[in-house]
Structure 1
Amino acid sequence: MTFSSKYKNLGKLAIVCGLATTMFACGGSADSSKKEDAKAAIAAKKEASVDFNIILNNAPDPTSIPVLLERSGAEFDASLLNSKENAKSYVLKDASSALNFGVYISDIAYLSASNKPQEAIDYFTTAKQLSDKLGITNAMGKDLSDKLETALSDKDAMLKVISEAESKVKTFLNTNSQYDIAALIVTGTTLEALHISLGLVQNAPKDLPSNVRNAVLVDLMTAVANQRKSIDAIVEILKPLEGTNNDTQKYYSEFVKLQKQFDALKFDEKLKENKGGYQLKAEDLKEITATVEKLRTATVKL
């Protein structure tokens, strides 16, 4: 979906309040004129809320890629997770809180899909520090912790709970004219899914029988190639925020760069020409991996 020029302008107008006070939070100033500006920006944003909501709903389900990774047979790799210890540094800025809340959502989904429910709950407790900072904890449901505890022995149930909670957050933020925060959350989620997928490719054991290793790598690299749709969704989500501040501009530019790198692979075209015989090789993903890892490192060190 492409924004009309009208909605591009509305998207930019909608963050005027954030630029007047903090990077992403509207209001909070004692100055009455700024409050009026904030109200006007929110009103303009609500005019485009349907479009914003549709675009947000095009974001990938945070559990879809972890499920594919688990089905590939790749061994779980805890080193690919973002450390829980980093969370305390993210609460200083809304942009960092939003991006890394998204990162932790993907980590939680990966843990759940890998049959590590207690670790997933521990990560949820960590992520809650960020959701509290962003004011979205209640949006996920006051009984979310209980639901996760109840689903401890049921991987599919846990993944469903995670997916529903993330969907509720997007709806809440859109309804409350916080499209920017929602955009950064799903950006963090998508970035982490790419990071984990590419990391599993790079870290695939070299001592496996070649037929076993190749089978795992084919599934993993195909999972990476399939994330082109996720990248497209993030570009569309960030598009209304392009040029409004350094944070959103950086992520928009880097995801556009990823689009071009995926295009250069011509994966779908090669599959069609070779009637399914073409397979991605690890070296094909070198440039994509470098882009993702540079951006992910900058994200978790914010």
Structure 2
Amino acid sequence: MESSDSQRSSDDDLTTATEADKSSVLRVGEAVFSIPSPVQTALLIERSGADYDASLPNATANAGNYISATDKSLAMGVYGANLAYYAIFDQNQEALSCMTVLEQLANELDLAGAIDRGLIRRFSENLGNQDSLLVLSSHFFRHSDGYLKENERDLTAALIIAGGWVEGMFMALNSTNGKGEIRQRIAEQKHALNGIVSILERHGSDDIASLITSLKDLQALFDGVKTTYEYKRPDVDAAGKITHLKSETSYSITDELFAQIIEELESIRNSIVS
């Protein structure tokens, strides 16, 4: 067994950060929305040059405060984003504690099958190896999401994604003060937010009505983000008789609107973790 686990860890090491850096996909009817994964957001924070801030992640000690299934599902998303943040900044013990809390919440939600039983041990064996921790974090998210969808736990999956998205945006904004690439990436999130709101409305219940209302308020602010499409000269493959159309999308957001988005996002985050 040990040699098999060792081989799996070696295989994980061969997986690049790019492989771990994948979006979640939400399907609402015929529409498909791409949601940045917690690993993607953590890598974006790292690229910004931000320093680690221990005050940003939600304390693992708060896990016992979440009583309802809705609160626990949202908390799983929050701690999932925290896990990637810890991993990217080599906060090994914090990452391990976060993984333990995620397993605890999954068990309380009757999602034991969503947890790869050997994952926490493999996580502890790879402390200090940032690439492996990111890959293992990504594996946790993909495995859990796949399990939830296969077992038709769509609302739970949507709440986990929503909690992770809110926490990821919160940490990104507070790590960088919304400067540089982060500002553009935040502006792009209007499409991800549309997907989250749509799927919560589709599968939602009375106990998430206030969350949906708050997300719609945020959605209304994001509607003020201007989107510009610039078409580029197409690439023509004469031999293959194929023309590749190209375009570039950019987003424009005023300082005032950006500040309003930050304020609303922080309010939603605080309501989730409190």
Select the residue among 38, 42, 59 that pairs with 1:62: 38
1:225-257: CA deviations, max 9, x gaps? 233333133123213124x3131x223333233
Query: Contact 2:106–2:114 at 8 Å: present in 1 too?
Result: no
Determine whether 1:288 maps to 2:248.
no
AA aligned to 1:298 is S
Report the counterpart of residue 219 of structure 2 in structure 1. 259
Unaligned runs of 5+ in 1: 1-49, 203-215
Q: How far apart are the structure 2 equivalents of 1:234 and 1:160?
A: 25
AA aligned to 1:259 is Q
Select the residue among 82, 85, 102 that pairs with 1:110: 85
Query: Would the alpha carbon gap of residues 217 and 58 (structure 1) be closer, same or farther in structure 2, given more than 3 Å must change?
Result: closer
Determine whether 1:185 maps to 2:184.
no
Q: How far apart are the structure 1 equivalents of 2:117 and 2:228?
A: 47
Query: Contact 2:43–2:88 at 8 Å: present in 1 too?
Result: yes
Query: Contact 1:87–1:127 at 8 Å: present in 2 too?
Result: no
Query: Would the alpha carbon gap of residues 57 and 270 (structure 1) be closer, same or farther in structure 2, given more than 3 Å must change?
Result: closer
Q: What is the total number of aligned residue pairs between the two structures?
A: 233
Identity %: 26
Report the counterpart of residue 219 of structure 1 in structure 2. 181
Select the residue among 100, 104, 122 that pairs with 1:129: 104
Query: Contact 2:74–2:159 at 8 Å: present in 1 too?
Result: yes
**C-alpha RMSD of the superposition:** 3.0
Deviates more, 1:125-134 or 1:94-103: 125-134
Query: Contact 2:77–2:160 at 8 Å: present in 1 too?
Result: yes
Determine whether 1:297 maps to 2:270.
yes
Q: How far apart are the structure 2 equivalents of 1:177 and 1:124?
A: 24
SS at match of 2:262: helix
Select the residue among 154, 161, 164 that pairs with 2:139: 164
Query: Would the alpha carbon gap of residues 146 and 58 (structure 1) be closer, same or farther in structure 2, given more than 3 Å must change?
Result: same
1:193-236: CA deviations, max 9, x gaps? 1111222244xxxxxxxxxxxxx821232232233333133123
Instruction: Please list, as runs of the form range in 1=range in 2, the aligned pairs for 1:80-91 lying within 5 A after superposition.
Output: 80-90=56-66
Shift of 1:271: 9.4
Shift of 1:63: 0.9
SS at match of 1:79: coil
Shift of 1:278: 8.7
Report the counterpart of residue 269 of structure 1 in structure 2. 228
Report the counterpart of residue 213 of structure 1 in structure 2. none
Select the residue among 44, 48, 52 that pairs with 1:76: 52
SS at match of 1:261: helix
Greater share of residues in helix: 1
Report the counterpart of residue 206 of structure 2 in structure 1. 245
Deviates more, 1:173-182 or 1:64-73: 173-182
Q: How far apart are the structure 1 equivalents of 2:99 and 2:195?
A: 25
Shift of 1:270: 9.8
SS at match of 1:171: helix
Query: Contact 1:55–1:237 at 8 Å: present in 2 too?
Result: no
Shift of 1:287: 0.9
The normalised TM-score by structure 2 is 0.74
SS at match of 1:239: helix
Shift of 1:172: 1.4
Report the counterpart of residue 194 of structure 2 in structure 1. 232
Shift of 1:281: 6.6
Query: Would the alpha carbon gap of residues 142 and 54 (structure 1) be closer, same or farther in structure 2, given more than 3 Å must change?
Result: farther
Report the counterpart of residue 176 of structure 1 in structure 2. 151
Query: Contact 2:114–2:144 at 8 Å: present in 1 too?
Result: yes
AA aligned to 1:265 is V
Unaligned runs of 5+ in 2: 1-25, 232-247
Instruction: Please list, as runs of the form range in 1=range in 2, the aligned pairs for 1:29-68 lying within 5 A after superposition.
Output: 58-68=34-44
The normalised TM-score by structure 1 is 0.68
